[in-house]
Amino acid sequence: MHIPDGFLEPKILVSTDIISLAVVFLGLKKLKNIDVNRIPLMGVLASFVFVLQILAFPVIGGTSVHLEGVVLTAILLGPFSSSLIVFCVLLMQALLFQHGGILSLGANFLNIGIIGSFLGYYFWKIKPTKIFASFATFITILISATLCSFELYLSNRLVLSVGLPTMLFSHLVVGIIEAVFVYGVLSFIEKLEPQILKFEKI
C-alpha cells in the first residue's frame, strides 16, 4: 500500500512525518546498545521484508497491494526493531525503485511499519501463539489498508464509498495469504531454530 509522492495533502504529510520521526527517534534510542547477535537476524529480516514488499500489484488510488512481513519481524525482534527495519526498507524502495514516495515516506511508514510493528506485536502479546500471530497479521493489514484509504480520501484522491471496499477486499486476500504464511514460518522456526524465538523483544 505504498503511496507515491504527489497524492497526499500537506497536512497529511506533515502529521504523518511527525509521528514517524518520533517513532524512529525512540527506536534509535532503544536500540542504542543492542546485542550484536541480533544484527545478522535484523539484516536477514530486512532483506526478507524488502523482497516481500517489492512484489506489488497496483490497486485503486495510486497505491499497491503486497505482502508485508512486518508482524512476523515484530514477533521475532520486537516492535522498535521491526519498525526501524521497515523504515530502512521503505526508504531504500523509494530511492531505488520509486516504490512509494520520499515525501510520503512518513505516511507509508505509519501505515505499514508502525501499525504492523506495534499493533501487530501487542495483538500477538495478548496470547503469544502461532494462531494469534496469524490473527495479528490479518487484522493489522486490514487496519493499515483502512488508514491508507482515509489518508487518500482526506487528500481528495479517493471516493471513500468505492475506494475503501476495494482496498479492504484486495488486502483481505493478502491478509489471509500472509496469515497462513506467518503460521508456517513460525512453525518452521519452532522446529529447526527455536533459539530465534528467544531473542529479547525490543
What's 38-49 look like in SS3? HHHHHHHHHHHH
Residue 200 zone, left/alpha/beta (φ > 0; ψ -120 to 50; rest) = beta
pLDDT of residue 83: 97
Q: The whole model's pTM is what?
A: 0.93
pLDDT of residue 119: 96
What CATH number should be reported for the domain holding residue 48?
Answer: 1.10.1760.20
pLDDT of residue 54: 85
Q: For the chain, what is the domain count?
A: 1
SS3 98: coil
* Mean pLDDT confidence for 166-173: 90
**Structural domain containing residue 162:** 10-198
At 100-154, the pLDDT tens digits run 899 999 999 999 999 999 999 999 999 999 999 999 999 999 999 999 999 999 9
Long-range Cβ pairs for the range 186-192 (8 Å, 24+): 186/72, 186/75, 186/130, 186/133, 187/130, 189/76, 190/130
The share of the chain scoring above pLDDT 90, in percent, equals 75
The answer to whether position 60 is within a domain reads yes
At 12-43, the pLDDT tens digits run 999 999 999 999 999 999 998 888 888 899 99
Distance of CA 102 to CAs 20, 91, 135, Å?
Answer: 13, 7, 31
Q: Which three cell numbers stand for residue 125?
A: 502479546
